[in-house]
Structure 1
Amino acid sequence: MRLEQIDAADPRDVLRALRAALGAGPAVGFGSTREQLPAEVPAGTAVVLTTSGSTGVPKAVALSRSALTSSALATSARIGEGAWLLALPPAYVAGVQVLVRSLIAGREPGILSGSFSPASFAAAARLMASSENGVRVPTYTSLVPVQLQRLLDAAASDRDVAAALRSFEAILVGGQSLPDALRERAADAGARIVRTYGSTETCGGCVYDGTPLDGVRVRIVEGEVQITGPVLADGYLGQPDRTAAVFPADPDGTRWYRTGDAGLLDEHGMLRIHGRIDNVIVSGGVNISLDRVEQIVRGIRGLESAVVVPVADPQWGEASVIVAPRGGALRRSEAEQLEHARTAVAAELGAPARPSRLIVVDELAHLPSGKPDREAIRQLVASLH
C-alpha cells in the first residue's frame, strides 16, 4: 500500500488525509520527527506516526484502519457520541484520534485556530454549540494536563473560559500523569474530566479512569503493564526485532504490548501506574530519554561527571535535574552553567527536554561498581526540590 507523508501543520490537511486513509486512499504518515518513511507499507495500514517513544529513539508506528476504528468506537461506547474539538497537535496520536472519532461519527470536528490559549479555547467551544431536533449535541475534547491547568487558572477570572470548561460532556486528559490536585480543581470548576492512559502503540488512550475500554485487557508481568486488544498497532516499520520484543505473542497467538510502565491492578481491578521502568520521563506529554539528556549535558565542560535524574513537576508532570560534583560545575556560575546546558539540550532534543535545575554537591553517591548511585541521587534531589 502506498504511503503519503504530509506536513501536519494544518489540521485540515490531516483531516483530509485521514478521511482518505480510513477509506480506500493511501496511508498517511506524519509525526514528531523528520524521519524518512518508506513509500510502501503493509496492506491495511492507515496511519504511520513517527515518535521518539519511550526509548528516545525515533520509530515509525504503523496503525491499521481496524485499530483506529476500534479505538474510536470503544471511546464513544464509554463516554458517548457527539462532536469533538481538536485542541492538540494533529501529528500526535491524541490529536489523530480526535479527528478519527469525528470521521467515524460523521461530524466535522471543531478546530482551535492558532496556538492554544484559554481565549482561543473558549471561542472554539462557543462555536461547537449546536442541536439536533431540539436536543443539544454533546461536545468532547482532549487535553494534556498543562493545557487544563492554564484553562483553570484563566477560569478563575474569566467567565467565558469557565463556561467553556463546563460545556463539554467529557474532557479526556492524558499524555502524562494528572495530579490529583489538578483534577480536584477541575471538578470544582464543573469540568467533567476523564483520565486516560495509553500510547501511540495503543492508538492513544485505551484505559479510562483506570478501567480498560471494551475489548482491551491489561495484565501485569514482573511489574510491567502489558495491554492487548483490537487497538494495538501492527508494529514498527522496518524494525522486526523491536516489534517482536515489544509486541510478544502468547502460545495462543494473543499479541500484547509491553508498555515499559510500572504498575499494578488494585483490589477493584483498576490500573495504577507508578512510572517508567526505563529511564524516561513524560514532560508536558512528550517522552524524553534522560540518557540522551545526560549524554548532551556531559559533553559540556564542567559537567563531564553530571547525572540527570527525574523529579515531579507541578506544571509539566515531570522534569529533569542535573546533579554535578562541586569543582567542575563551578567553572561558570551555576546559573550560566544551567543556561548553557538548557540551550544545548534544546538544540538537540527540543525545548521540552531542557533540564529545570542544576544542583551542585560536594560528591556524587556511587555504587560499589563505581557507577553513580542514581536512586540515592534521585532521593537527594526529591528532598531538595
Structure 2
Amino acid sequence: METPFYTKDFDYTLPEDRIARFPLEQRDQSKLLVFSQGIITDTLFAQLPEYLHSGSLLVINNSRVIHARLRFTKTTGSTIEIFLLTPHTPGDYHEALAKRGSCIWQCIIGHLKKWKNEKLTLTFNYNNNTEKLIAEKKSGNSNHLIQFTYSDNLTFEDVLQHSGAIPLPPYLNRKPVASDHDRYQTIYAAESGSVAAPTAGLHFTDNVLTRLAEKKINKTEITLHTGAGTFLPVKAKLITEHRMHTEYFIVNRKQIKQLQQFQNKITATGTTTLRCLESLYWIGVKLKTCYKDLPHHLQQWEYIDLHQNITVDESFSSIIAYMDNHGLNEFKSSTSLMIIPGYRFRIVNRLITNFHQPQSTLLMLVAAFTGNRWKDIYLHALQNGYRFLSYGDAMLLSS
C-alpha cells in the first residue's frame, strides 16, 4: 500500500434533507442509479431485472436484524442503554440466541458512568406474563462483557423480541416506530444476528424476485451478520490508521460451488455481501498456501501479503477440501477486510448498494469498485433528488 490515502479525500457535503428518515411506502419504488461502462442511467429499483443478465448469479444476505437496543431504568431514574454487539458465551450466534436462562454478550453501554456495579433489571411482558431481564457487568474496556439472566422458559431471542428495540442507525435521529419492525428487515431475512440492516436488500419485493427468476437470473443466499461498526466514521487522518470492525459470516457447500460456476457473472447485494465473498476468496488462498487448521479470520490488510495469483477455482476448492476433511456442510468465518481504491476484486462484478455517509469505509469500498468515479456518481445523485443512507435509494454499479 504505497500511495497514502487520506480520509478527507472521501468527503462530500450531505444536506440533512437528503437523508431518508423513513422508507418509501413501496420498497421497489426507490430510485435506482445504474453505473455501467462510465455511463449513469436513472431508473427505479422495480426495473432491476432489466439491468441484470440472464444466466448470472445474484447473491443476497439473509441475515435478520435483532432487537439489539436494551434500555434499563435504575431506581434513581437514570437510564442505561445496552447495545448488543456480538455473542461471547456461547460464541455462536444461533446458539446464543437460542440459549435459555443466561448468556454473555459483548456490548456498548450508554451512560456508562451512571452504572456502577449493581445489577440492572428490565421488566417486560411475554404472553401476558411479566418477565425480568437482569444485566450484570462481567468485564469492561472499550466494549463490555455483559451477562444477561432471564427465565429458563425463554430463549434470548424471545427476550430481545419483547424487551429490546430495533437498532436504527444514529443518523436517522429518531426513535423506532411500529413500521420499522417490518421495514428495517429485508423480505427474505431468515438468520438472526445483525445489529444493522443489510440495507441494499431493503428494496427487494416479491415481484422483483419473481421477475428475476423469470429472466433466469439465479439467486443464492449467504449470511453475514452486519455489525455496529458499519456506522462508525473514519476518524483517523490516514485510512491505514483506521481499525476495521469484524463481521461474521456463514456459507455452505452449495453456495461455494455456485460461486465457482458463475465466475465473472456475480452481482452482490450490499457491501456486506461483497465483503463476505471477497473475504472468502482470501481465506481460500490462506488454506491453499499457508494455513491448514488455524482460525479462518481475515485481518484488515492481510490480503496484501498473501499470494496474489491463486485462481478462484483453486481458492474455493481449498475451502471445499477443508470442509470435506472436517465433515462440514457450512463454513463459518469472520472478516475485518477493508477495501479501498487499488483493491483488485476477485469475485464480485456488480454491486447493488445504497448511498453512504461521507468519510465512511463503505464509501471507500464504492470508490474502489467504481475506479474512483464515486464523486461523479454522488454528485449526480445529489443533483437529481436521490435519497441517501439506510432508508434511501439504491445504485447498481459495474466494476
TM-score normalised by L of structure 1 = 0.26
Which structure's relative contact order is higher, taking Cα pairs within 8 Å and 6+ residues apart? 2
TM-score normalised by L of structure 2 = 0.25
